[in-house]
Amino acid sequence: MKAFDSTQLYFNRAADQIDLTESMRCLLLVPKREVQVQVAIERDDGEVATYIGYRVQHDDARGPMKGGLRFHPDVDMDEIRSLAALMTWKTAVVDLPYGGAKGGMAIDPKQFSRRELELLTRRFVDGIHDLVGPDVDIPAPDMGTNADVMAWFMNQYAKYHGFSPACVTGKPVELFGLPGREEATGRGVGILTYKLLGRIGRKPGDTRVAIQGFGNVGSHTAKFLGEAGYRLVAVSDASGGFYRADGLNVPALLRYALDHNGSLTGFAEADAISNAELLALDVDVLIPAALGGVITAQNAKAVRAGIIVEAANAPIYPDADDVLQERGAIILPDILANAGGVTASYFEWVQNRQHYRWDLNRVRQELDRVLTNSFESVWELAATRNISLRAAAYVLGIGRVRRATELAGVC
Ligand code: GLU
């Protein structure tokens, strides 16, 4: 199943719940604008190489469109379209004054030098600068991009439009960025996992957790849950998985990744397992925090965790979701579970617009408040309607976008 089809399926299931008309479904699903631009650079060996940059602006009924820029070989228009729609529902679920967007390029950033990445970013901005901006569409980091990319983005945008740090979020803290933005997605996953487990009466000490992915999101989730006393028994990254039944030493893992350019390859204080084995482990909580589409109809039956927290965007296909729901698994959906990132992006945007600096304590406190309120709303709605947390999150998000659309008027 293609990425957008799967997002559309989740959308339609929730739309059935609230009797959304066909015309409103169409209005809310079809992206407002999709662009594809040429990004040509001279590589370090002197060759000119040409790439495609994508940006999909899905919906702006609730405010300027917001969403990351992804540098990953799997990027294509369909995936970006799907991720842009997820951003619309995500910003609505956590009630930020934003719509949804997403962009990216089909490249493996590891194959490019720093100079080349800077050029790619600047040429991409050249192609889209007049379609984005602080009141229109605000990019941010996503898979394969980071604060450096956002700094280049801001600098290139300024060449056309003058000083406007709010044109992009996830910037370096020293360059108009927000303390706590980098940790926010993983920290948010941790906060929400903690809330969910508390709701169903699970104690940290006897809760075994496995996290797939040890990038920005996975590592910060591990840090938060480790500090909260949960037993992290397995993690993995692109090089494979690491398992320890009595619990991994989280500070040692974090230190190892820091010393090895983000990679866990060679970490010796654990047994080696494959990524597929990690998904099938007998754990209480499974947190896919890497790529989309990792739990499919083929491997869903092997997944044994009772609770799955979607730290990644779209890690579970709808047919796999059916299998998991049928056996009673509780799934915290991506549009809530990983919303901490865009929530902190919102704080950064507010900070930039007010030229007033936030400190880390304030960021953490407000992040906790926004995510806790959103969790409670979704939980209540799921209980009242007797639907899954995913359906409830969609119902809440779609309902808010529909309301804004109707109030603004469509004629
Ligand atoms: N890329 C992140 C996401 O998927 C963050 C987006 C943002 O901060 O705008 O939610």
Superfamily of domain 28-166 in the CATH hierarchy? Leucine Dehydrogenase, chain A, domain 1 (3.40.50.10860)
pLDDT 10s digits, 111-123: 999 999 999 999 9
Model confidence, pTM: 0.97
Rounded CA gap, 87 and 332, in Å?
A: 16
Atom of ligand 1 at shortest distance to CA of 68?
1
Write out the catalytic residue numbers. 102
Instruction: Report CA(27)–ligand 1 centroid distance (Å).
Output: 23
H-run or E-run covering 104: strand 99-105
User: Is residue 88 scored above 80 in pLDDT?
Assistant: yes
* Contact call for residues 5 and 15 (beta carbons, < 8 A): no
Locate the domains of the chain by residue range.
28-166, 182-337
User: Is residue 237 scored above 90 in pLDDT?
Assistant: yes
pLDDT 10s digits, 53-85: 999 999 999 999 999 999 999 999 999 999 999
Q: Looking at the chain, how many residues does it have?
A: 411
Instruction: Report CA(309)–ligand 1 centroid distance (Å).
Output: 17
* Contact call for residues 398 and 89 (beta carbons, < 8 A): yes
How far apart are the two ends of the chain, measured CA to CA in Å?
34
Pocket test for ligand 1, best of 79, 80, 86, 87 (most atoms within 8 A of CB): 87
User: Is residue 411 scored above 80 in pLDDT?
Assistant: no
> 313 in ligand 1 pocket by Cβ < 6 Å?
yes
| Residues 222-231, mean pLDDT to the nearest whole number | 97
User: Is residue 270 scored above 90 in pLDDT?
Assistant: yes
Residue pointed to by tokens 């639907």: 387
| CA distances in angstroms from 231 to 89, 150, 241, 254, 376, listed in the order given | 32, 35, 16, 15, 25
pLDDT-derived band at 102, boundaries 50, 70, 90 = very high
| Residues 360-366, mean pLDDT to the nearest whole number | 98
pLDDT 10s digits, 166-187: 999 999 999 999 999 999 999 9
Which pLDDT score is estimated for 278? 97
* Contact call for residues 134 and 50 (beta carbons, < 8 A): no
| Residues 126-151, mean pLDDT to the nearest whole number | 98
| CATH no., domain 182-337 | 3.40.50.720
> 182 in ligand 1 pocket by Cβ < 6 Å?
no
> 189 in ligand 1 pocket by Cβ < 6 Å?
no
User: Is residue 318 scored above 90 in pLDDT?
Assistant: yes
Which pLDDT score is estimated for 1? 83
**Chain-centre distance of CA 247, in angstroms?**
26
> 72 in ligand 1 pocket by Cβ < 6 Å?
no
User: SS3 of 229, please?
Assistant: coil
User: Is residue 95 scored above 90 in pLDDT?
Assistant: yes
**Token pair listed for 253:** 């893992």
Atom of ligand 1 at shortest distance to CA of 344?
8
